[in-house]
């Protein structure tokens, strides 16, 4: 699907062009019509069935923990109930996973975000990762790599269990990291802190700051989408631990209201990034430790409802693509105000130790981006279940 570049008005005198390399943030689908007659490709029944399953079989990685947050092993298929759109669904397959012994173990990525953190925050996050890696000389339980969001792309080094090799990766990838260029034109403290919860409105007023917020939003979402798409063909689960609170939600009044073309673009890209994360089996975690430099916002009941996803383009906003919303919908952890970075990383990595893989078959969608809510329950008291909470069917 291709999307043309379009313009989103910020005020009477200010407009910005919003475009992804893979898909524009707003606009209707377009392009010239081809006169070529499509060629039919004959397929056997088995080939058609395999193709249908590849496109419609949904894989869920399900975390089950007790009151202390420890993973619960030993559950059986009969302990699980799958609910889609408030209706019971049949589970096609079930498998308990021990991440330390499976042929393709989960991969862990520790991501430094240079698009949405100040230089001081980047240094603080890097030191936290260093502290985690120096805790022990023993190899890590899972293949791990360092990743960075910088210059419009997410780049990562090869996964390894060797802590020394990861320290070298960290030095190599972070030594030349710098905040996104537009921050140099405005107050970095104000611009970097302009990440708000969905229920609030930002007070940023400067045209330059608004431009910078918009640039960070576009850069972050497009980079995450491209990264997730590249992971789809790599076997195994990915636990992506994102350092920091993520990109701006563009809740400032100058960004409102969104017209139909803007909403259509936001919704199309929400479907793309959500689907890519799910198909790549990426669990997205947010790690924002308490510090003097970053003050986390608290979540409200309005925000909790918002995090469950939007069913159509009429309800979508830029905030629908926020990092914390995507993390929640992927079944990830959102560790706001974590005690420290090493303990936060350990808590996120613990998800790889013991979990359950469930699959089910999704019916053909009636339209692009057909929204479905998901819930997995375990009929045992005192347990918490985390997995994908929504998916968007793409026909």
> What confidence score (pLDDT) does residue 307 get?
84
Please enumerate in sequence order all residues whose Cβ is within 8 A of that of 329, keeping only pairs 6 or more positions apart, or say none.
274, 307, 308, 309, 388, 389, 390
**Cis-peptide into 257, omega within 30 deg:** yes
Please enumerate in sequence order all residues whose Cβ is within 8 A of that of 199, keeping only pairs 6 or more positions apart, or say none.
300, 302, 303, 306
Q: Give, for 11, the enclosing helix (H) or strand (E).
A: strand 6-11
Closest by Cα among 242, 244, 185, 236 to 212: 185
The mean pLDDT of the chain is: 83
> What confidence score (pLDDT) does residue 12 get?
29
What is the maximum span of the chain, computed from C-alpha positions, in angstroms? 64
> What confidence score (pLDDT) does residue 250 get?
86
Contact between 243 and 113 under an 8 Å Cβ cutoff? The reply is yes
Q: Give, for 39, the enclosing helix (H) or strand (E).
A: none
> What confidence score (pLDDT) does residue 93 get?
97
Contact between 190 and 204 under an 8 Å Cβ cutoff? The reply is yes
> What confidence score (pLDDT) does residue 226 get?
98
How many residues in the chain? 395
Residues of the chain with pLDDT under 70: 1-55, 184-205, 256, 290-306, 395
Other C-beta atoms closer than 10 Å to the C-beta of 98 total: 13
Paired tokens of 4: 């043309």
Paired tokens of 132: 């985690």
> What confidence score (pLDDT) does residue 133 get?
98
DSSP annotation of 165: H
The dihedral over CA atoms of 307, 297, 262, 186, expressed in degrees to the nearest 10, equals: -160
> What confidence score (pLDDT) does residue 190 get?
55
Half-sphere exposure of 134 (CA within 13 A, CB side): 10
The dihedral over CA atoms of 313, 319, 324, 326, expressed in degrees to the nearest 10, equals: 20
pTM of whole model > 0.75?
Answer: yes
Other C-beta atoms closer than 10 Å to the C-beta of 69 total: 11
Distance, CA of 372 to CA of 221 (rounded, Å): 22
Q: How far apart are the first and last CA of the chain?
A: 13
Paired tokens of 305: 């409802």
> What confidence score (pLDDT) does residue 303 get?
64
> What confidence score (pLDDT) does residue 11 get?
36
Residue 104 sits at φ, ψ, to 5 deg, of -115, 95
Q: Using alpha carbons only, how large is the chain's radius of gyration in Å?
A: 21
Distance, CA of 382 to CA of 265 (rounded, Å): 41
> What confidence score (pLDDT) does residue 91 get?
97
3-state class (DSSP) for residue 59: strand
């Amino acid at each position: 699907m291709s999307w043309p570049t379009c313009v989103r008005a910020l005020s009477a005198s200010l407009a910005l062009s919003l475009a992804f390399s893979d898909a524009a943030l707003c606009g209707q689908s377009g392009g010239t019509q081809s006169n070529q007659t499509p060629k039919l490709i004959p397929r056997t029944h088995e080939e058609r069935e395999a193709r249908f399953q590849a496109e419609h079989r949904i894989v869920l990685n399900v975390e089950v923990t007790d009151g202390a947050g420890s993973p619960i092993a030993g559950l059986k298929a009969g302990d699980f109930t799958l609910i889609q759109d408030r209706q019971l669904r049949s589970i096609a397959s079930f498998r308990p996973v021990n991440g330390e012994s499976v042929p393709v173990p989960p991969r862990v990525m520790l991501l430094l975000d240079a698009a949405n953190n100040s230089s001081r925050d980047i240094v603080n996050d890097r030191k936290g990762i260093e502290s985690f890696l120096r805790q022990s000389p023993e190899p890590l339980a899972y293949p791990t790599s360092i990743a960075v969001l910088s210059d419009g792309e997410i780049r990562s080094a090869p996964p390894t269990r060797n802590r020394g090799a990861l320290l070298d990766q960290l030095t190599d990838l972070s030594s030349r990291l710098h905040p996104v260029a537009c921050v140099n034109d405005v107050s970095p403290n104000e611009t970097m802190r302009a990440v708000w919860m969905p229920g609030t409105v930002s007070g940023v007023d400067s045209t330059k700051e608004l431009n910078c917020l918009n640039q960070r939003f576009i850069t972050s979402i497009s980079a995450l989408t491209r990264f997730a798409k590249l992971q789809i063909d790599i076997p195994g689960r990915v636990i992506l631990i994102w350092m920091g609170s993520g990109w701006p939600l563009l809740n400032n009044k100058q960004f409102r209201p969104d017209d139909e073309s803007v909403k259509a673009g936001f919704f199309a890209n929400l479907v793309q990034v959500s689907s890519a994360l799910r198909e790549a089996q990426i669990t997205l975690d947010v790690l924002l430790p308490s510090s003097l430099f970053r003050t986390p916002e608290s979540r409200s009941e309005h925000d909790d409802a918002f995090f469950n996803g939007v069913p159509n383009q009429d309800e979508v906003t830029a905030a629908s693509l926020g990092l914390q919303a995507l993390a929640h919908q992927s079944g990830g952890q959102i560790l706001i105000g974590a005690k420290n970075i090493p303990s936060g990383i350990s808590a996120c990595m613990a998800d790889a130790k013991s979990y359950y893989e469930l699959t089910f078959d999704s019916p053909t969608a009636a339209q692009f981006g057909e929204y479905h809510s998901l819930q997995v329950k375990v009929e045992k008291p005192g347990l918490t279940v985390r997995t994908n909470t929504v998916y968007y069917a793409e026909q």
